[in-house]
Amino acid sequence: MDQASIDALRTAAVPMQMHIINGQSVPASDGQQMEVLSPLNGQRLTMVAKGTKADMDAAIAAARAAFEDRRWAGQPPAARKKVLLRWADLVEAHALELAVLGVRDNGTEIGMALKAEPGSAAATIRYYAEAIDKNYGEIAPTQEGFLGLIHKEPVGVVGAIIPWNFPLMIGAWKLAPALAMGNSVVLKPAETASLSLMRLVELAHEAGLPAGVLNAVTGEGPVVGEAMALSMDVDVLVFTGSGATGRRLLTYAAQSNLKRVYLELGGKSPNIVFADAPDLAEAAKVTAFGIFRNAGQVCVAGSRLLVEASIHDDFVAEVARIAEAMKVGDPLDLSTAIGAVNSDSQLRQNLQFVRAAVDEGGTLASGGSQLLQGTGGYFMAPTIVTGVAPKATLAQKEVFGPVLAVTSFEDEADAVRLANDSIYGLAGGVWTSNLSRAHRMIGAVRTGVMHVNTYGGPDMTVPLGGVGQSGNGHDKSLHALDKYTNLKTAWIKL
């Protein structure tokens, strides 16, 4: 990847995006469109179809028909595997195109986007492709004269609602295992970041995925997302996003067919630094990158920094020094460390959180302002607020922006108490040279992922899922296949 190749794509025309239903590009049933504004400059990038309930119903009907006639589910595992592997190859071949398109749509810095978006998506698709022909049923140890067989079957039609922060990565986490198990899928991208995900669907069809197996409808959540969640023909719903939306989806499931709903929701993840951390300089660097990359728009971001009191001032000063040296700007520039906030409304929300934090007694140690206003884009300085009380808004609410809340602690018990003083439990981290303490913290902090002397980076071999109000179910790893699988028992008298 070089800057010239990126620049060649940065102003490429982006055609109006239509729905993809039954293998065909189709407009909204009423002809309506939505404007796509680029966070880089606030200008129109393109238009996308503004879906209706009728559009979503048509996509679900196509997925149901494809599942019932077994055009995909009925293919041998080796055949499905070949298609998914071709899909992964195409994603890699189009990686730069996909990454630049995504950056223009959601603002992630290109250095991160290329790896985290098409790179991650291709690896995820390939991982589940390789798992297809290794995922067997079971023979149960039964009483004499009987045979117990446990069959693994696809669930049917999967509805997937994908967020705007990493649409390709998170989309692949849901699409790849669902398709690997033989399901049909209807995809609803985020309103503010749908373009690269729709291109991913086009590449799936180029790879040989049968028409109707993967459908995608763009539009507003309260319209097409609600129609998906209320449908009697969607068997499983998977969602990454806000807790408020997750609650509505659970309500819609109860009001319709009691579809299974798997949710990856918010986080307020604690990053805990003890004075005996093996390398405090490295801990400060990773802390800064763990909250400020992608403008803080990362589900597992270490947004709460808990620091042992004896090193608090020096450690926070070092994190601030690193943060202030991180270049904020054009996300299509390879030298940029922090790109754009996804939307103007998200930027305004971020700034309001900072004002509230100061009003509640916090001290603004760094940042706190909008940057590069002359560009028309949505840029924010990496922000550090110290002295954040445990019950303060900034300690309890997810910002989803480049804002770090800092609180000091006295000892291990105090650190655990502060870490667990949250409705969330998505991720966390601990920095210590004490092996026993590390294991105690892993067990004591209520979270789905716990990092030790690092923050971020777990690969596809391990699951990602939260506890508490961070959701249920798991993405990544072989455990993700469980969401898209029905178990059927055959009890046979011999």
The pLDDT value given to residue 182: 98
Is the confidence at residue 294, as pLDDT, over 90? yes
| 220 is a catalytic site residue | no
Is the confidence at residue 194, as pLDDT, over 80? yes
Is the confidence at residue 1, as pLDDT, over 80? no
The pLDDT value given to residue 332: 98
Number of H helices, E strands in the chain: 16, 21
CB 295 within 8 A of CB 377: no
The pLDDT value given to residue 457: 87
Q: What is the tens place of the pLDDT at every residue in 138-180?
A: 999 999 999 999 999 999 999 999 999 999 999 999 999 999 9
CB atoms within 10 A of CB 356: 15
The pLDDT value given to residue 135: 94
Question: What residues have CB less than 8 Å from 479, skipping those under 6 apart?
Answer: 463
230-238 average pLDDT score? 98
Q: For residue 49, which phi and psi values (nearest 5 degrees)?
A: -60, 135
Nearest Cα residue to 116 out of 93, 99, 91, 97: 99
Task: Please report which confidence band the pLDDT of residue 354 belongs to, taking 50, 70 and 90 as the band edges.
Answer: very high
The pLDDT value given to residue 253: 98
The pLDDT value given to residue 492: 97
State the chain's mean pLDDT as an integer: 97
Nearest Cα residue to 383 out of 301, 439, 307: 301
Q: What is the spatial distance between Cα 137 and Cα 488, in angstroms, rounded to a whole number? A: 9
Task: Please report which confidence band the pLDDT of residue 254 belongs to, taking 50, 70 and 90 as the band edges.
Answer: very high
Q: What is the spatial distance between Cα 83 and Cα 209, in angstroms, rounded to a whole number? A: 6
* pTM to 2 decimal places: 0.97
Domains of the chain: 3-265+471-491 (3.40.605.10), 270-459 (3.40.309.10)
Q: What is the spatial distance between Cα 453 and Cα 467, in angstroms, rounded to a whole number? A: 22
Q: What is the tens place of the pLDDT at every residue in 95-138?
A: 999 999 999 999 999 999 999 999 999 999 999 999 999 999 99
Q: What is the tens place of the pLDDT at every residue in 401-421?
A: 999 999 999 999 999 999 999
Is the confidence at residue 282, as pLDDT, over 80? yes
- Identified catalytic residue from 109, 264, 308, 412: 264
Q: What is the tens place of the pLDDT at every residue in 18-65?
A: 999 999 999 999 999 999 999 999 999 999 999 999 999 999 999 999
The pLDDT value given to residue 262: 98
Is the confidence at residue 183, as pLDDT, over 90? yes
Nearest Cα residue to 106 out of 168, 40, 50, 46: 40
